[in-house]
């Protein structure tokens, strides 16, 4: 059941632009301008075309940095840190925090809890927040899981209330939201064509590149992150990938990935290596990429079949690349050793 809410109003290895505007000449509208930054624990590359690029890039950087501070559960003064500290009573948070949490809770409800924003104590127990990795005992994880009650989180305009003892993390949604808001900030500053790569999150601005051709986004090969299994031709949209290869640690010969199954508190273990989600809303794409990874290929495909606005590229452990119908015409195969299937 979806938690109670009352709304006042209702250089990333994963993906890259390929061959953008080669040989475009000196037309200022075709000139590419880039800015790199590090935020939200990842390297980001912002690319914009045409005049007025400085204002557009500055607007995007300011947006990302502001959201990074506001949505970091360990950042003093940020909305999420304040919310976690005030669990047990109503806490006023930013509109951005409400929007990201609202998306996370929607996906939590839609996917049977495959994405859970209340998993932060479990994430900390594994050491994924500090890099001091450890493998917790199942009894410890069970105790932490028993303390959360995601369905009891209530949103009332700019106020969030959740049970005492709970702590939230919005890391599975925040980068997608930041990419979308940064693209909007670029547009407000006058940009018409841009592509933003925030770790595993790509957001495009403009239905085409300045030369009128579709944006090209590559889907990384999880077994060789310097290669890719194919490229997607897309318009203005979000393309977000989640996979166990992106962050993990090894202990006693076993690999532990950062994507945790909320049902067990342990790393998701199914037939998938990665999930790429293509849909218009960046925050939703980000949240779904994690949730659908947890569900496995069958659950992910069932979700996409029921939601016409969501398309997927799934890469499985047995060497299959599964592409849903909406991407078939725009997907170009590029990997070796894979079997390609089209829904």
Residue 161 has pLDDT above 50, yes or no: yes
| Strand 266-267 with 260-261, pairing | antiparallel
* pLDDT bucket at 19, cuts 50 / 70 / 90: very low
Cα(206)–Cα(302) distance, integer angstroms: 30
* DSSP 8-state secondary structure symbol assigned to residue 163: -
Cα(307)–Cα(326) distance, integer angstroms: 11
Pick the CATH number of 5-342 from 3.40.50.300, 3.10.520.10, 3.40.50.920, 3.30.1360.40: 3.10.520.10
Residue 64 has pLDDT above 90, yes or no: yes
What tens digit of pLDDT does each residue of 300-343 get?
Answer: 999 999 999 999 999 999 999 999 999 999 999 998 899 999 99
Number of H helices, E strands in the chain: 7, 20
Higher pLDDT, 176 or 30: 176
Residue 35: other Cβ atoms inside 10 A: 16
* pLDDT bucket at 297, cuts 50 / 70 / 90: very high
* pLDDT bucket at 16, cuts 50 / 70 / 90: very low
Mean predicted confidence (pLDDT) in 176-180: 98
Mean predicted confidence (pLDDT) in 164-176: 96
pLDDT reported for residue 3: 47
Residues in the chain: 343
CA distances from 41 to 21, 87, 129, 199 (A): 30, 25, 10, 9
* pLDDT bucket at 169, cuts 50 / 70 / 90: very high
pLDDT reported for residue 26: 65
pLDDT reported for residue 23: 39
Residue 28 has pLDDT above 90, yes or no: no
* DSSP 8-state secondary structure symbol assigned to residue 119: -
Residue 327: other Cβ atoms inside 10 A: 21
What tens digit of pLDDT does each residue of 110-147 get?
Answer: 999 999 999 999 999 999 999 999 999 999 999 999 99
């Amino acid at each position: 059941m979806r938690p109670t809410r009352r709304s006042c109003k209702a250089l990333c290895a994963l993906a890259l632009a390929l061959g953008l505007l080669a040989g475009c000449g000196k037309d200022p509208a075709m000139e590419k301008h880039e800015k790199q930054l590090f935020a939200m624990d990842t390297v980001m590359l912002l690319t914009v075309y045409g005049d007025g690029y400085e204002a557009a890039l500055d607007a995007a950087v300011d947006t990302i940095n502001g959201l990074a501070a506001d949505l970091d559960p360990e950042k003093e003064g940020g909305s999420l840190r304040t919310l976690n500290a005030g669990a047990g009573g109503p806490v006023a948070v930013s509109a951005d925090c409400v929007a990201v949490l609202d998306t996370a809770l929607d996906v939590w409800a839609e996917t049977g809890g495959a994405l859970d924003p209340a998993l932060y104590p479990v994430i900390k127990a594994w050491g994924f927040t500090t890099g001091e990795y450890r493998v917790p005992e199942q009894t410890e994880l069970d105790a932490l899981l028993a303390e959360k009650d995601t369905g009891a989180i209530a949103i009332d305009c700019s106020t969030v209330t959740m049970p005492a003892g709970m702590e939230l993390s919005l890391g599975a949604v925040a980068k997608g939201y930041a990419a979308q808001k940064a693209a909007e900030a670029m547009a407000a500053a006058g940009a018409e064509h841009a592509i933003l790569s925030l770790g595993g999150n790509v957001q495009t601005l403009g239905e085409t590149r300045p030369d009128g051709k579709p944006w090209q986004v590559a889907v990384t090969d999880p077994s060789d992150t310097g290669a890719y299994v194919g490229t997607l031709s897309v318009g203005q949209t979000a393309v977000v990938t989640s996979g166990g290869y992106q962050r993990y640690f090894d202990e006693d010969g076993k690999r532990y990935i950062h994507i945790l199954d909320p049902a067990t508190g342990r790393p998701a273990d199914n037939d998938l290596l990665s999930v790429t989600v293509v849909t218009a809303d960046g925050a939703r794409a980000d949240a779904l990429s994690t949730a659908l990874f947890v569900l496995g290929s069958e659950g992910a495909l069932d979700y996409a079949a029921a939601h016409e606005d969501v398309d997927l590229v799934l890469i499985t452990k047995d060497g299959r690349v599964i592409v849903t119908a909406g991407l078939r015409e725009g997907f170009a195969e590029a990997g070796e050793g894979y079997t390609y299937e089209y829904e």
